[in-house]
Structure 1
Amino acid sequence: MVTAGDTYQADLLIEDGVIALIGRELPPGDVQVIDAAGKLLLPGGIDVHTHLELPFGGTLSSDDFFTGHRAAAFGATTSHIDFVIQPKGGSLAEGVETWRAKAAGKAAIDYGFHMAITDLRDEVMAEIPSLIDEGITSLKLFMAYKGVLQVDDTTLFRAMTTAAEHGMLTMVHAENGDVIAELTTKLLGEGKTAPKYHATAHPAMAEAEATGRAVALAGIAGAPLYVVHMTCEESVEQLVLGRAKGFPVMGETCTQYMFVFEEDLARPGFEGAKYVCSPPVRQPKDAVVLWRNLANGTLQVVSTDHCPFWYEGSVQGRIPGKELGKTSFDKIPNGMPGLEDRMAVIWHHGVNGGHFSANRFVELTSTNPAKIFGLYPRKGTIAIGSDADIVLWDPEHEHTISAATQHQNTDY
């Protein structure tokens, strides 16, 4: 058994989907017995940052709740939290209803929702407490995607204070959307339209500035803050500064930022579009910083921001995908697949690569997500009374990741 705090040998009895007993040499009785000798038993992975069937840039992310859950289960993730997007001019309740309909009849693993707020009118503010009754305890605000999802500082601060009053957590996508919009206009005006210019339009300092601003506002509001998909040293520094002042700020990074880099955006032809996401992938030196801060506790979670699109959806007779941006990088749907492979690649490079222990792996991929988002100890650990969301893990198993064998619904 491997948990965030311990490693030990034991037998496990499961009854009705719940861990009923843990001990050595338990009498088997009239039950199905699985001999897991030589393997590890881990809490199932919890991915708290996914976007299934997300409307974006004139299309949808290519995984729905069926294919996304299939991929998650094959990849040792047993729970995830997706983002409900408030419709512009609409209510929070409308958004929740839409996302519940997306999941209806398709779910294969446990799931929950965050609420992404795009339009914080007074009547919407009044809806926030009712989210708790829906099981939603976290709000997300975007500091980027100007004219679409971006909110101003007044809205962000009001959301933070309201969330704090009701014991909720505020999450932010921290990039300076005004700077990004200005740089994008300038680059396109110069004829710089290739995928590699996506990174140029989203500089690390624009992420750092927004992170610092969000941390400061959270400190003023006395509100807990969770900064999603942190990518670079400059933004992590802002988190460290805020925590040194006693602000309750937390951060996550995502798998792509440890393995995919800005040079990949410059691959020949349109290949770089496969790796366009926001914030963009950075430099190898930033990955070194992220690994170090995952190990030392500065970053609490590694998730995926799973938001896949077809590379050539129209060509294959499917919904459009990355090809929407062939003439202009700002039209490329932002996102990458990751839900299926998160656990394996983080174990391989994190544990086998010597960055951290198996216990820290469990903490980053399951226990901390469960604790931060109110799921612990029902999930995120192996304990009597916890859900039996467990993974039988063979640390010696090898497999090759490929588009042909993956269960994620995309073509690369």
Structure 2
Amino acid sequence: MIAQRPRFDLVVREGLVAIGDATMRVDLGIRDGRIQAIAERIEDATQIVDAKGRLVLPGGVDAHCHLDQPNYGAACADGFRSGTLSAACGGTTTIVPFAMAYASDPLAKTVAAYRLKAEGQALIDYAIHPTIQAASAQTLERDLPDLIRGGYASLKIFTTYDDFRLGDSEILAILKVAAAHGALVMVHAENDAIIAMLKQDLVSRGLVAPRFHAKARPPIAESEAIHRIASFAELTGAEVLIVHVSSRVGLEEVTRARARGVSIHAETCPQYLLLTEADLDRDGLEGAKFMCSPPLRTTDDQEALWTGLVEGSVAIYSSDHSPYRLAGPDGKLRYGPQSRFDQIANGMPGLELRQPLLFSEGYLKGRISLAQFIALSSTNAAERHGIAPQKGSIAIGGDGDLVIWDQERETTVTRDLLHDNTDHTPYEGMRIRGWPVTTIARGEVIVDDGRVLGVAGRGRFVPSKARKA
């Protein structure tokens, strides 16, 4: 007699599953990588994971992180292997990084080559954002429409940086194509001319320490660019996401545009909620650890962003994981101990701590509700980037991406705790309450109480679906 296969491959037993702001003690049954049952009691499983007394939440979706990409100077310290390991250990089960190359390279070729980098390396599932650095006829008429139809329906553009920025006419052309084909356009929005003028003035006066990075990129550089992008989105009918919103005035531009019906959303990141520009003013070049763009702001800006998380004007919470080592010929300080602020690579690591920081500082401190935590760190990103309902929520038919949280565990952040490939963390010494102790991806336990059980290469590409145009 042939033994029958158990009904479920894995059951998560007696966890406190979030239903809105309430929790319900239920079992979750997973078969063939998908959630197939939510019930008071589920038997007949190959594997049972005991979650009694602990929160069971959707796996995190980090739709803004940088892995294995060229950066015209400092090298990205994390590839897909170390980056996705770090993500999984922090409760993230899906990432969406950026396919970037030289502007002269065909966009379709760039995306295909980047996807090959992930295959065989990624521990968790991933979608991919094409990054557009040149609005050529081939990009606008062939590559971009084909990519959107082929599962790459969220893309990114820049209004600053010499190697990435696009002019207004190029941005308008891209937004027009995106609107016609139902793609989301992510925008790094800072006014390049303002930054160039202020940077030149500061450097000419010898004001080159890391703290002057914030002076070279003031909030008005962000708010002006957001206003312009919102106007372009209104004109073309495109849907846009302003990434890493850092300031009160920047968020106000998003809010005003939304009030008049523009399809525009705001994203922010942990560094803008928990660190300030005072961190740039540290001894020597310690401030280099805290350099990102846009730069860190004030406590007033922090409060505006926290309010935005509560009120919904900030829709998505991402890491903007930009991993650089400090030392070495391709690190942040590749120009040595006398590096000027304009020679230091901008970016912070944050993939692993993204969810624990918001859980501790947001949910457990009462700043946001449990439902808001889930929406900000999982559901909203999955929806906006076209990978819901497969990702981002606990629902019948969705992927079995789950994280079990110990709300009482207290952890002090140290560099040795983390799994990325950088040599520092801007959150060193911070005390965090609550921790993702078990990460389950498509029904497979890949991290359990600090032990990594999943293998590199198990992650799969997830197509990003276009919206109805």
CA pair 358-373 structure 1, distance change in 2 beyond 3 A: same
Are 2:67 and 1:58 equivalent residues in the alignment? Answer: no
Are 2:253 and 1:251 equivalent residues in the alignment? Answer: no
Percentage identity across aligned positions? 40
CA pair 60-89 structure 1, distance change in 2 beyond 3 A: same
Of 93, 100, 103, the residue aligned with 1:85 is 100
1:212 alignment partner, SS class: helix
How far has the Cα of 1:291 moved from its partner? Answer: 0.6
Matches within 5 A, 1:162-177: 162-177=177-192
How far has the Cα of 1:54 moved from its partner? Answer: 2.4
Of 15, 27, 35, the residue aligned with 1:11 is 27
How far has the Cα of 1:3 moved from its partner? Answer: 4.7
Partner of 1:324: 335
Aligned partners of 2:369 and 2:204: how far apart in 1?
Answer: 49
Of 401, 405, 410, the residue aligned with 2:417 is 405
Partner of 1:360: 372
- C-alpha contact 1:196 1:266 (8 A) present in aligned 2: yes
CA pair 133-220 structure 1, distance change in 2 beyond 3 A: closer
Of 14, 17, 20, the residue aligned with 2:36 is 20
Partner of 1:376: 388
Aligned partners of 1:398 and 1:331: how far apart in 2?
Answer: 37
Amino acid at match of 2:302: A
Matches within 5 A, 1:199-214: 199-214=214-229
Aligned partners of 1:73 and 1:158: how far apart in 2?
Answer: 37
Aligned partners of 1:30 and 1:69: how far apart in 2?
Answer: 28
Aligned partners of 2:221 and 2:29: how far apart in 1?
Answer: 51
How far has the Cα of 1:30 moved from its partner? Answer: 4.3
Partner of 1:161: 176
Of 23, 32, 36, the residue aligned with 2:47 is 32
With the length of structure 2 as denominator, give the TM-score of the two structures. Answer: 0.84
How far has the Cα of 1:142 moved from its partner? Answer: 0.3
Aligned partners of 2:169 and 2:220: how far apart in 1?
Answer: 22
- C-alpha contact 1:3 1:382 (8 A) present in aligned 2: no
- C-alpha contact 2:70 2:101 (8 A) present in aligned 1: no
How far has the Cα of 1:313 moved from its partner? Answer: 3.2
1:380 alignment partner, SS class: coil
With the length of structure 1 as denominator, give the TM-score of the two structures. Answer: 0.96
2:50 alignment partner, SS class: coil
Aligned partners of 1:2 and 1:171: how far apart in 2?
Answer: 30
Aligned partners of 2:149 and 2:182: how far apart in 1?
Answer: 13
Aligned partners of 1:327 and 1:272: how far apart in 2?
Answer: 11
Aligned partners of 1:385 and 1:306: how far apart in 2?
Answer: 30
Aligned partners of 2:238 and 2:47: how far apart in 1?
Answer: 48
Matches within 5 A, 1:12-411: 12-26=28-42, 28-126=43-141, 127-145=143-161, 147-314=162-329, 319-324=330-335, 326-411=338-423
Which segment is superposed worse, 276-285 or 3-12?
Answer: 3-12
Unaligned residue ranges in structure 2 (runs of 5+): 1-16, 425-469
Aligned partners of 2:420 and 2:45: how far apart in 1?
Answer: 38
Q: Deviation per CA, 1:316-345, whole angstroms, max 9, x where unpaired?
A: xxx433343742211111110000001101
2:417 alignment partner, SS class: coil
Aligned partners of 1:161 and 1:188: how far apart in 2?
Answer: 38
- C-alpha contact 1:57 1:333 (8 A) present in aligned 2: no
Q: Deviation per CA, 1:198-236, whole angstroms, max 9, x where unpaired?
A: 111000011000011101110011111110000000000
Q: Deviation per CA, 1:137-162, whole angstroms, max 9, x where unpaired?
A: 012110111x2111111111111111
Unaligned residue ranges in structure 1 (runs of 5+): none
Q: Count the aligned residue pairs.
A: 406
2:410 alignment partner, SS class: coil
Aligned partners of 2:117 and 2:204: how far apart in 1?
Answer: 39
Aligned partners of 1:350 and 1:157: how far apart in 2?
Answer: 37
Higher-helix-fraction structure: 1
Aligned partners of 2:210 and 2:113: how far apart in 1?
Answer: 32
Q: Deviation per CA, 1:47-103, whole angstroms, max 9, x where unpaired?
A: 000011222241311111000001000000000100112422121012112312321
Aligned partners of 1:360 and 1:59: how far apart in 2?
Answer: 36
Aligned partners of 2:49 and 2:61: how far apart in 1?
Answer: 24
Amino acid at match of 2:261: G
How far has the Cα of 1:117 moved from its partner? Answer: 0.6
CA pair 180-7 structure 1, distance change in 2 beyond 3 A: same
How far has the Cα of 1:118 moved from its partner? Answer: 0.7
Aligned partners of 1:296 and 1:278: how far apart in 2?
Answer: 25
Root mean square deviation, CA, Å: 1.3
1:59 alignment partner, SS class: coil
Aligned partners of 2:45 and 2:344: how far apart in 1?
Answer: 56
Higher-strand-fraction structure: 2
Which segment is superposed worse, 124-133 or 62-71?
Answer: 124-133
Aligned partners of 1:134 and 1:313: how far apart in 2?
Answer: 39
Aligned partners of 1:86 and 1:172: how far apart in 2?
Answer: 17
Aligned partners of 1:359 and 1:30: how far apart in 2?
Answer: 29
